[in-house]
Amino acid sequence: MSSHLLKKGYEPKKVERRWYAYWEKEGLFSGEDVSDKEPFSIVIPPPNVTGVLHMGHAHNNTLQDILCRYRRMQGCNVLWMPGTDHAGIATQNVVEKRLAKEGKSRQSLGREEFIKRVWEWREEYGGLIIKQLKRLGASCDWDRERFTMDGGLSKAVRTVFVRLYEEGLIYRGNYIINWCPRCQTALSDLEVEHEDHNGHLYYIRYPFQKGNGGIVVATTRPETMLGDTAVAVNPNDKRYGGLDGKTVILPLMNRSIPIIFDDYVDMSFGTGALKITPAHDPHDFEIGQRRNLDVVKVIGGDGRMNEQAGRFQGKDRFECREQVLEALRDEGLLEKVEPYQHSVGHCYRCRTTVEPYLSRQWFVRVKPLAEEAIAAVRTGATRIIPDTWTRTYYEWMNNIRDWCISRQIWWGHRIPAWTCENCHELTVAIDPPTVCHACKGTALVQETDVLDTWFSSALWPFSTMGWPEDTDTLKTFYPTSVMVTGFDILFFWVARMMMMGLHFMKEVPFRDVYIHALVRDAEGKKMSKSRGNVIDPLYVIDEFGTDAFRFTLAAFAAQGRDIKLSEDRIEGYRHFINKLWNASRFSLMNLSDFEPDETGQDARDLSLADRWILSRLNGVVEIVTKSLDEYRFNDAASAVYQFVWHEFCDWYLEIIKPVLYGPETLSSPYVTTRFTLWSALNETLRLLHPFIPFITEEIWDKLPGTQGSIMKAEFPFPSKARDDREAEEAMKVLIGVVSGIRNIRGEMNVAPSLSVDAIVHSPDKDVRELVERHRDMILNLCRLKGLEVTPPDERPASSATSVFGGCTIFVPLKGVIDFELEQGRLNKEIAKISKELDGIGKKLSNEDFLKKAPQDVVDKVRERGERLAEKRTRLHEHLDKVSHLD
RNA sequence: AGGCACGUAGCUCAGGGGGAGAGCGCUACCCUGACACGGUAGAAGUCACGAGUUCAAAUCUCGUCGUGCCUACCA
């Protein structure tokens, strides 16, 4: 028997590198475009090219990998489509920062040169996160790696744009959009993050043009008053009756502006008078449209006041606010200032306060698209899991507003629209047109804006598969099986993929959407760089190994609850990996010369323990399979953890040691035990592989009788035929007896080195025979020197007692028994039983319970009551004896 | 302002109408020939609070309190 098969400690680093390279080399991650096998596909939520792997990615991709490896082993044709996202604003920011270090700007380079630099940057650094995903063990089909700016995907983007335009679902127009003065681009509503802000409500008097007095308006943004073109009041507001047709003088600007009546105005807010700035507020804009008001833009794209702002021109908008207030104070027009909390929008990329800004932009009319997307979930074509998110999805889809898709940046898909310099008509086309569609003129100038990055992301499930070509990949793998993602991009991405998928593929992009939780720090706070509480996944992998990390993530991935992660918790699961390693090491030591074929399968005469462990294994396989099918990763992980540690290691391995250590290697028990050990380990490894791919492959490789990668082995499947209730029931009895004896030893302070005797009384002949037949096992597990099994008989003198099932267990402790200790032990047990019996008694004496509860429940309670009562009686008897000298 | 989720052992969380569970931590003993990243045994909970439904509630309903998150065009 040799012990060099596995090293004493598991060394993840080398193992991980070796096996990942092997898997890649052997092409084990490849999906087949044409295959008879059942397809299973996932498209990866593409990380930003600028990204580095964070906990969110690690969690997200671990779950996807578990699913992919699971399905692959089940015989599916699996495609896990990988790739990255060009992340327009983020990437542009990164490259601009680098340029700044060289003393350059994107403007100084020019558009074309700048784009070239971005591509160069991408070549050099863009692959970082892909490498990191590989360290996680991600089994993506890397040969298919996509990038949202690739030629094929760009073609898909242009195709979609043109078709939507032609269908009237894309339009261009002047509207108030969210503008980031730092990024100098429009943002969609979703890209604005609202935060509560402790500001002020300023009350400003606008004097009447004629006569004395004036009207007081309230605003949080006094600088916008420079662009006011009206003051509105509610027509029902008695305070302002008779002001119709009156005008006021706009302070500081000395413009005369009308007082108008509009239902929109809330009488109860402020003074009931609302200043109207159509160019800088979405509602004001609407009112302005309705009432044909002038539009005066006073803030420029850079966040500074423009030439319309009079003497404030050139000032930053916030600086201007202070100066406007100062000026109003000087003129005595600032009536009062109140502290006021309101929410302020910030750019999700750079945190700059967003400016509502009137400009010409491109929009998608999403309502019609959203209707299809709502219906798809309602009919169950796509399931959202957990179900609670369905409501959120509907809520958002029902209230959806048009999507601003144009961005005034350079990095991205340039909008395929050309303006004719001659007739100013737009020509929209997939490929650059040579003539204007209207006047046939040839002087065409392309739109300079690019598309929102999410526009191309929305096409990801089919653009990555070759659309608009009609490819085999699409035929085989679309719709994808499941989208695994966090709720933070449910709207940004999932909803939009639904809309685009349905519209262009006429089919949902995915059957299931599994929404997982966020990974937080140990205190439940969101991990963020500024907070300094991030745990770097790569550090974790280096420190604890990928498998321990993955298993932790799976074990904590309960639906609907965020994961609070700390190093301690990962360390705990490293112990599990180590346990598996050592159990395997032990097994391999005893299987070194084992050949599965040499054991006649039919001739096997399995021991009770053998039958038990195989039956239990079947039970775990059932739980794992069912749990993974329902995306309950934590249930799967804890079931397998429980089995490996507390059944396979704690009981099975301990039970079989004497057989393996014994001299009789030709005996039937030796042969069958080795066979069972081998099959159980073999199956357990396959069961564990999706969660912890590296260590299982390493052990698999060393396990006799296995061929090729474990990735190609079959995932275990549960079978009724393998359920062995009889063996499980019998083992329950033996485990109970062993635990009873151990309990006595432990509580009575019997030194572990001391061998004692035990006596088991049972009125049940079958139980006696069972215990008798496994006396060696019990002797060994309890360190006994003798075991006697008899029908209930005279109670052995000077002994401690334990009652389990029908058995009464005695451990004679002549001379060493501490009567007080024993009494305490018995009393405690009796008290526990009595308390339970009280409850049961109450139930059984309740007429209604007996009448209305289902019969099987009544029977069960009654039976349990009898059992407990009997047990208590026996304990009482012993307590009596122990109390009256022994 | 609305909406959603969550309050179960010291900590992190499963469970979801009929016997309160796990992991970590804790206590005692043990380096027994896979593993001290280990073994054996043990202690520990008014299942947030209050009502209701029910023969029966940690579990279902309503309310209260607390904690998180999301949405929103409250000047």
A346 touches strand B (CB under 7 A): no
Tokens of A716: 């275990």
Residues A425 and A343 placed together within one structural domain of the fold = no
Tens of pLDDT, residue by residue over A86-109, are: 988 888 888 888 888 888 888 888
The DSSP line for A123-143 is HHHTTHHHHHHHHTT----GG
The residue type of A820 is E
CB contact at 8 A, A681 and A616: no
In a domain, A227, yes or no: yes
- State how far the alpha carbon of A271 is from the alpha carbons of A224, A231, A239, A266, A327, in Å: 18, 12, 10, 9, 21
In degrees and rounded to multiples of 5, residue A250 shows phi and psi of -75, 115
**DSSP H/E element including A93:** helix A88-101
Rounded alpha-carbon distances, angstroms, from residue A643 to A62, A92, A326, A683: 22, 51, 74, 12
The three-state DSSP-derived secondary structure of A594-617 is: CCHHHCCCCCCCCCHHHHHHHHHH
Same domain, yes or no: A111 and A198? no
Whether A112 and A249 share a structural domain: no
- Looking at the domain assignment, is residue A780 inside a domain? yes
Q: What percent of chain A has pLDDT over 90?
A: 43
A819 touches strand B (CB under 7 A): no
Q: Which nucleotide is nearest to A751 (CA to C1')?
A: B29
Say whether both A433 and A479 belong to one domain. Answer: no
The answer on A144 and A280 residing in a single domain is no
Check whether residue A474 and residue A575 sit in a common domain.
no
| Residue A292 one-letter amino acid | N
| Contact by Cβ (8 Å): A44, A134 | no
Measured CA A25 to C1' B74 distance, in angstroms: 61
Q: Which two tokens stand for residue A823?
A: 């009494």
pLDDT in tens, A359-369: 999 999 998 99
| pLDDT grade for A191, boundaries at 50, 70 and 90 | confident
**Which of A356, A391, A409 finishes a domain?**
A356
CA distance linking residue A275 with residue A462, whole number of Å: 48
Contact A796, A810 (CB under 8 A): yes
Does residue A440 come out as left (phi exceeding 0), alpha (psi in the -120 to 50 range) or beta?
A: left
Regarding whether A497 and A372 lie in a shared domain, the answer is yes
ipTM: 0.93
Domain membership of residue A26 (yes or no) is no
**Where residue A53 sits, what CATH number does that domain have?**
3.40.50.620
Number of domains in chain A: 5
Scanning A280-387, the segments in alpha helix (DSSP H) are 282-291, 317-330, 367-378
- Write down which residues 519-548 in A have CB closer than 7 A to strand B: 522, 524, 526
Q: What is the DSSP letter of A173?
A: E
- Does the C-beta of A265 come within 7 A of strand B? yes
Confidence of residue A647 (pLDDT cuts 50, 70, 90): very high
Q: Is residue A549 part of a domain?
A: no
The enclosing domain of A776 has a CATH number of: 1.10.287.380
Task: Output the distance from A555 CA to B47 C1' rounded to whole Å.
Answer: 22
Residue A217: which nucleotide is closest by CA–C1'? Answer: B75
Q: For strand B, which residues in window 353-392 of chain A come within 7 Å by CB?
A: 388, 391-392
Query: How far is Cα A463 from Cα A731, in angstroms, rounded to an integer?
Result: 56
- Closest residue to B67 by CA to C1' distance? A524
> A460-474, A523-537, A785-799, A829-843 — which is least confidently predicted?
A523-537
Average pLDDT over residues A161-177: 93
Cβ of residue A646 lies below 7 Å from strand B: yes
| Gap from A857 CA to B40 C1', Å | 36
A621 and A636 share one domain: yes
- Could you tell me the CATH number of the domain that includes residue A245? 3.90.740.10
Q: Are strands A406-407 and A450-451 parallel, antiparallel or unpaired?
A: antiparallel
Question: Are A194 and A63 in the same domain?
Answer: no
Instruction: For residue range A118-139, list pLDDT tens digits in order.
Output: 999 888 888 889 999 999 999 9
Residue A735 within any structural domain of the chain: no
Tell me, in Å, how far CA of A838 is from C1' of B45? 20
Find the radius of gyration of the CA atoms of chain A: 37
- Tell whether A618 and A661 lie within a shared domain: yes
Report yes or no on A875 lying in a domain.
Answer: yes
CB-proximal positions of chain B, under 7 Å: 3-6, 12-15, 18-20, 22-25, 28-30, 32-35, 37-43, 54-56, 68-75
Query: Do A375 and A497 share a domain, yes or no?
Result: yes
Q: Which positions 499-518 on chain A have a beta carbon less than 7 angstroms from any atom of strand B? A: none
| Domain limits for position A694 | 565-723
Say if residues A765 and A811 touch (Cβ distance below 8 Å): no
**Which structure tokens are listed for A839?**
């409850």
Closest residue, by C-alpha, to the C1' of B12: A564
- Establish whether the CB of A5 is closer than 7 Å to any nucleic acid atom in strand B: no
Same domain, A370 and A508: yes
Within a domain: A175? no
Residue A747 approaches strand B within 7 Å at CB: yes
pLDDT digits (tens, 9 = 90+) for A738-767: 999 999 988 888 888 888 899 999 999 999
Domain assignment of residue A22, yes or no: no
